[in-house]
Chain A
Amino acid sequence: MSMECGVFHTRYESDMGLRPRPAQRIRLAAFAAFVLVFPFLAGPYWLDLANQIAIATVGAIGLNILVGYTGQISLGQGAFMAVGAYSAGLLTLNLGLPWGVSIALACVITAVAGSFFGLPSLRLKGLYLAIATLAAQEIVEWAMTHWTAVTGGTEAIVLPAPRLFGVRLNGAFSFYWFGVAMAAGTALFAANLFRTRMGRAFVAVRDQDIAASVIGVNLFRTKLLAFATSSFFVGLAGAMIAYYRTIITWERFTLETSIVYLAMIIVGGLGSIRGSFFGAALITLLPALIANAGRALQDTAPVVAGLLPYAQQAVFGVVIILFLIFEPKGLSKLWGNVKDYFHVWPFAYRRG
């Protein structure tokens, strides 16, 4: 690796590049290599976790576009994922559309639904919007369980397995490639989004909405677009869950889901793409790790093992609080600190 002592761009192209520095490209290549090799080494248990992380990454990036980048607090993530999952499933079951078309349409439907629930955001700010989205979540939850004619109520909806070129896509190994492709595509789209006028407008609305409208950002349009863009990916995450599990149940899309996704972007870092991935990975792995610890303790300390489901709940809360108090910018900032340290290593500028 070449030694660097700073970032000096000599061409506009390099200044505008997503990953201009050699070290960044090497890291990206290393990560890509890991992602490509991983499924051949991992067993089905870890592959399943990786797929969950891929889906969660899509959903977390979607939520981060709304909450982290545009500053509109949403407790309705679970509801939007439900819209994505149910429309993807019902389009296939009732209209006989191929699964790919259903997923694409489900994203669009969720984007429309998201804009509709985003309408209050034009009148309401901050906590009022949070409470409005909470109500939306509760209403959608009720519709899922009680609007039996459409959603099947509390009964699960079973979907046909998605197939691509004759391969069943809902197996852990085959879905992995689909999941990774979707997550990478979402990340790439989001990273580029915030280099465009529209993405910059999102950030301007977050930082100071009145100032944004003074410099010519149309608040009405921008907020609705933010809700639509965010919901598009949230719907994609929901549809991916539907086709990965090939079964849709309302329990996957409760207020708890909304909270888990908010935790992902808080722990990972608000307003950060890589943070969304870090957070999705940590929050997905955390309960799995605790469950593993529980299995390990089963023989030696069965009493402790019995308490572990509750420990999962408590540890989840503790993690959120520790991050909020000690590193509000999340894992993304921690990773940034590590990188900054090694960026000009060993010639670090030391303070004091």
Chain B
Amino acid sequence: MDIFLQLTVSGLSTGMIYALAAAGFVVIYKASDVINFTQGDLLLLGTYLIFFAVGQIGLPWSLGVLVTVLLAVAVALAIERLVLRPLIGEPIISMIMVTIGLSSILRGLVNAIWGPAPRSFDSFLPEGSVVVGPASLSTGRLLSIPIALVVLAALGLFFRHARDGIAMRAIADDQQAALSMGIGIPRVLGVAWALAAASAAIGGIMLAGVVGVSPNVASIGLRVFPVVILGGLDSIKGAVVGGAIIGLLEAYTGGYVGHGLNLVVPYGVLILVLMVRPYGLFGREIIERV
């Protein structure tokens, strides 16, 4: 039972980090139909920026988080303006490859600046652990779950109530109708990338606290795909639920089955979902079949 509780907490906290990255993916997909392979590298950028701000410059945590998010947003806006905007309307393969190219550049730059060795610094999440019955749970991991949920809820509220959020949903619904109602698509795309970067940066900050700072963080970016396919490509709620399910599945298979099976289970789920219910748990059922 104590192992079960520990696995649940660690699975949920990992899952919430997946959810943060996946939410950014969903925002960009909703606004522009772009499959974003840079999500993992935005996470990576987040972990290194917080390390830079707090561990290297020595800013206090609150300020460090602010600086990290702002810098990540600036990078995302530059990406959107310089690279994505000239390619609006190109075929899917081009959009996939352009984000893969960006991912390669980001990874190269982060490695060039901070080197390939893992770095460490004092986490802002408390070190200790809470004892619940027979289990002792890491406080850091426990705390990361509500933090992520607050950020994700804010994103959800943004979509429901903010002007740009509604504009984004309008564009996702019908680009031409949205244009004729006076919605500026470039602006909305910029906002989408900024939000995706902010969400990923917060995910990265939490990763830095929970797991540590190393170049391997970028590989988490691929976990975004099982999460969004399971949750539904265009649903924030789906990203949260999908993140939680994939995180828990990984933790349980890792804890109870072993053999590195936790690495492959998410992709098995992905294939299964694509075969049975390609629009996922909460996605809109408009998938085109041949």
Give the CA-CA distance A315 to B101 in the complex, in Å.
9
| Contact, CB under 8 Å: B270 / A313 | no
Let me know if A297 is at the binding interface, CB within 8 A: no
Give the contact stretch, choosing among A26-34, A47-55, A134-142, A181-189.
A134-142
| Contact, CB under 8 Å: A325 / B290 | no
Let me know if B96 is at the binding interface, CB within 8 A: yes
| Contact, CB under 8 Å: A130 / B104 | no
Quick one: given A73-B92, A123-B275, A262-B97, are A314 and B225 in contact (CB under 8 Å)? no
With CB as the reference atom, state the residue of chain B lying closest to A313.
B108
| Contact, CB under 8 Å: B108 / A317 | yes
Would you give the shortest CB distance from A256 to chain B, in whole angstroms? 9
Let me know if A193 is at the binding interface, CB within 8 A: no
Query: Among B104, B263, B288, B289, which residue has its beta carbon within 8 angstroms of that of A320?
Result: B104
Let me know if A127 is at the binding interface, CB within 8 A: yes
Let me know if A122 is at the binding interface, CB within 8 A: yes
| Contact, CB under 8 Å: B108 / A125 | no
Tell me the chain B residues, 36-71 only, with Cβ under 8 Å from chain A.
Answer: none
With CB as the reference atom, state the residue of chain B lying closest to A132.
B274
| Contact, CB under 8 Å: B101 / A321 | yes
Query: Among B94, B97, B105, B260, which residue has its beta carbon within 8 angstroms of that of A146?
Result: B260
User: 1/0 per residue A39-75: CB within 8 Å of B?
Assistant: 0000000000000000000000000000100000100
With CB as the reference atom, state the residue of chain B lying closest to A267.
B97
Would you give the shortest CB distance from B176 to chain A, in whole angstroms? 20
Quick one: given A131-B274, A142-B264, A145-B260, are A73 and B93 in contact (CB under 8 Å)? yes
| Contact, CB under 8 Å: A255 / B289 | no
| Contact, CB under 8 Å: B109 / A328 | no
Give the contact stretch, choosing among B82-90, B141-149, B167-175, B196-204.
B82-90
Quick one: given A132-B274, A139-B267, A317-B108, are A127 and B35 in contact (CB under 8 Å)? yes
Let me know if A178 is at the binding interface, CB within 8 A: no
Give the CA-CA distance A171 to B289 in the complex, in Å.
49
| Contact, CB under 8 Å: B278 / A128 | yes
| Contact, CB under 8 Å: B274 / A128 | yes
Tell me the chain B residues, 85-132 only, with Cβ under 8 Å from chain A.
Answer: 86-87, 90, 92-94, 96-98, 100-109, 111-112
Let me know if A108 is at the binding interface, CB within 8 A: no
Let me know if A124 is at the binding interface, CB within 8 A: yes
Tell me the chain B residues, 222-239 only, with Cβ under 8 Å from chain A.
Answer: 222, 225-226, 229
| Contact, CB under 8 Å: B105 / A318 | yes
Quick one: given A318-B101, A320-B101, are A310 and B90 in contact (CB under 8 Å)? no
Residues of chain A with a CB closer than 8 A to B112's CB? 307, 310-311, 314
Query: Most chain-A Cβ atoms within 10 A of its Cβ — which of B90, B98, B101, B106?
Result: B101
Let me know if A4 is at the binding interface, CB within 8 A: no
| Contact, CB under 8 Å: A266 / B111 | no
Quick one: given A120-B275, A127-B92, A325-B86, are A317 and B225 in contact (CB under 8 Å)? no
| Contact, CB under 8 Å: B274 / A73 | no
With CB as the reference atom, state the residue of chain B lying closest to A312.
B108
Residues of chain B with a CB closer than 8 A to A315's CB? 108
| Contact, CB under 8 Å: B225 / A131 | yes
Residues of chain B with a CB closer than 8 A to A313's CB? 104-105, 107-108, 111
Let me know if B163 is at the binding interface, CB within 8 A: no
Tell me the chain A residues, 288-338 only, with Cβ under 8 Å from chain B.
Answer: 307, 309-321, 324-325, 328
Would you give the shortest CB distance from B125 to chain A, in whole angstroms? 30
Give the CA-CA distance A321 to B104 in the complex, in Å.
10
Residues of chain A with a CB closer than 8 A to B288's CB? 125-126
With CB as the reference atom, state the residue of chain B lying closest to A138.
B267
Let me know if A104 is at the binding interface, CB within 8 A: no
With CB as the reference atom, state the residue of chain B lying closest to A125.
B288
Would you give the shortest CB distance from B243 to chain A, in whole angstroms? 16
Give the CA-CA distance A328 to B91 in the complex, in Å.
10
With CB as the reference atom, state the residue of chain B lying closest to A220.
B290
Give the CA-CA distance A127 to B29 in the complex, in Å.
11
Residues of chain A with a CB closer than 8 A to B278's CB? 123-124, 128
| Contact, CB under 8 Å: A255 / B222 | yes
Quick one: given A126-B92, A307-B112, A313-B111, are A321 and B274 in contact (CB under 8 Å)? no
Residues of chain A with a CB closer than 8 A to B107's CB? 313
Query: Most chain-B Cβ atoms within 10 A of its Cβ — which of A67, A126, A138, A142?
Result: A138
Tell me the chain A residues, 116-171 only, with Cβ under 8 Å from chain B.
Answer: 120, 122-128, 130-132, 134-136, 138-139, 142, 145-146
| Contact, CB under 8 Å: A310 / B109 | yes
Would you give the shortest CB distance from B82 to chain A, in whole angstroms? 9
Let me know if A259 is at the binding interface, CB within 8 A: yes
Residues of chain B with a CB closer than 8 A to A320's CB? 97-98, 100-101, 104
Quick one: given A127-B35, A266-B97, are A135 and B267 in contact (CB under 8 Å)? yes
Would you give the shortest CB distance from B177 to chain A, in whole angstroms? 22
Let me know if B161 is at the binding interface, CB within 8 A: no
Let me know if B181 is at the binding interface, CB within 8 A: no
Query: Most chain-A Cβ atoms within 10 A of its Cβ — which of B226, B264, B268?
Result: B264
Would you give the shortest CB distance from A110 to chain B, in whole angstroms? 19
16 contacts between A and B (CB under 8 A): A67-B93, A120-B275, A123-B274, A130-B92, A135-B270, A139-B264, A142-B260, A259-B104, A266-B97, A311-B108, A312-B108, A313-B107, A313-B108, A314-B104, A320-B100, A321-B83
Given contacts A120-B275, A263-B100, 17 further A-B pairs with CB under 8 A are A67-B93, A123-B278, A128-B274, A132-B274, A134-B267, A139-B268, A142-B260, A142-B267, A259-B104, A262-B100, A318-B101, A320-B98, A320-B100, A321-B98, A321-B102, A324-B90, A324-B97
The 5 closest A-B pairs by CB, nearest first: A314-B108, A317-B104, A313-B108, A320-B101, A317-B105
